[in-house]
């Protein structure tokens, strides 16, 4: 191949064409590179090498979406994944307690195993470090004595513990189901009558108020887990 032919060949290789259809191993030649706009807005560069398709996304803004599994090699020195602004996380909390259910409202513990009947209390209060929204609450019911009892659940918050002048109910949910022994019961975000969101710096408590006194007449184990969507701000 003379100099002119090599120059033309190199110029052809330097230009990467934009294609309209999703590239695949079958549609590309070995060593070929193309560009393709995905539906989510990313401009993706494809290259076929050693019979395998390789991709690299390019973005015109700071918003990015990654597909697949992200792995950090722990064998590398100082290898870590560090957030520098904010991110969304899901945190789980345990609210287990052992008791009967009186005909008055009780508040679930955030630590320990003792529920309380007043607000605020140390074991049944949680000071939110970030904005957080209740994703769901799962309850493993014990043996039930009266399965036809409605139970009202509440998420409550307070900003000033000293004056209690800003105490308020954030949202409520009335469970009207027939309770089943040793069965899981779930309250989803959409079940609440309002957005179950707590702001950073607020204290939150979760209330449980059965309408009858005989739903559980002796001490039983209530196994409860809540899941919260947390906006972690660095």
Query: Which one has a higher pLDDT value, 45 or 213?
Result: 45
Query: Which one has a higher pLDDT value, 80 or 48?
Result: 48
pLDDT band at 203 (very low <50, low <70, confident <90, very high): very high
What is the mean predicted confidence (pLDDT) over 196-221?
Answer: 85
What is the mean predicted confidence (pLDDT) over 7-14?
Answer: 54
Q: Going edge to edge, which strands form the sheet with 17-18?
A: 17-18, 33-37, 43-49, 52-58
What is the mean predicted confidence (pLDDT) over 45-68?
Answer: 78
| Rounded (5°) CA angle 63-39-22 | 125
When mean pLDDT is compared across 84-88, 151-155, 205-209, the lowest value belongs to 84-88
pLDDT band at 197 (very low <50, low <70, confident <90, very high): very high
Question: Helix, strand or coil for residue 66?
Answer: coil
Strands 33-37 and 131-140, bridge-based pairing: unpaired
Condensed to tens digits (0 to 9), the pLDDT of residues 25-36 reads 999 989 899 999
All CATH 2.60.120 domain ranges of the chain, comma separated, are 86-233
Q: What is the pLDDT of residue 122?
A: 83
What is the mean predicted confidence (pLDDT) over 9-15?
Answer: 55
What percent of the chain is modeled with pLDDT above 90? 35
Q: Average model confidence (pLDDT) for the chain?
A: 81
pLDDT band at 230 (very low <50, low <70, confident <90, very high): very high
Query: Which one has a higher pLDDT value, 191 or 162?
Result: 191
Alpha helices in 69-219 (DSSP H): none
Q: What is the pLDDT of residue 1?
A: 55
When mean pLDDT is compared across 45-54, 67-76, 123-132, 171-180, the lowest value belongs to 67-76
Q: 39 CB contacts (<8 Å, ≥6 apart)?
A: none
Question: Helix, strand or coil for residue 14?
Answer: helix
Strands 126-127 and 97-101, bridge-based pairing: unpaired
DSSP type of residue 42? -
CATH number for the region 86-233 comes to: 2.60.120
Sign of CA dihedral 133, 136, 138, 139: positive
Is pLDDT at 83 greater than 60 in this prediction? yes
Q: Write down the residue that tokens 């590398």 correspond to.
A: 76
Q: What is the pLDDT of residue 131?
A: 96
Q: 102 CB contacts (<8 Å, ≥6 apart)?
A: 210, 213
Q: What is the pLDDT of residue 231?
A: 94
Write 39-47 long-range contacts (CB < 8 A, 24+).
40/65, 45/16
């Amino acid at each position: 191949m003379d100099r002119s032919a090599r120059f033309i060949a190199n110029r052809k290789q330097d230009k990467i064409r934009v294609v309209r259809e999703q590239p695949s191993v079958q549609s590309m030649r070995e060593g070929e590179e193309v560009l393709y706009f995905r539906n989510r807005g990313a401009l993706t560069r494809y290259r076929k090498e050693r019979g395998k398709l390789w991709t690299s996304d390019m973005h015109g803004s700071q918003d990015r979406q990654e597909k697949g599994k992200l792995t950090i090699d722990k064998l590398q020195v100082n290898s870590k994944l560090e957030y520098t602004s904010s991110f969304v996380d899901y945190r789980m909390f345990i609210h287990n307690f052992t008791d009967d259910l009186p005909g008055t409202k009780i508040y679930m513990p955030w630590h320990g195993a003792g529920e309380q009947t007043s607000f605020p209390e140390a074991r049944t209060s949680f000071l939110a470090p970030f904005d957080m929204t209740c994703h769901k609450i799962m309850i493993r019911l014990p043996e039930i004595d009266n399965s036809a009892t409605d139970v009202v659940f509440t998420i409550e918050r307070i900003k000033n513990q000293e004056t209690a002048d800003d105490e308020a109910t954030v949202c409520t949910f009335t469970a009207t189901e027939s309770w089943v022994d040793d069965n899981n019961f779930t309250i989803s975000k959409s079940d609440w009558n309002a957005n179950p969101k707590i702001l950073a710096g607020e204290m939150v408590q979760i209330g449980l108020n059965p309408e009858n006194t005989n739903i559980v007449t002796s001490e039983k184990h209530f196994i409860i887990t809540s899941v919260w969507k947390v906006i972690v701000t660095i």
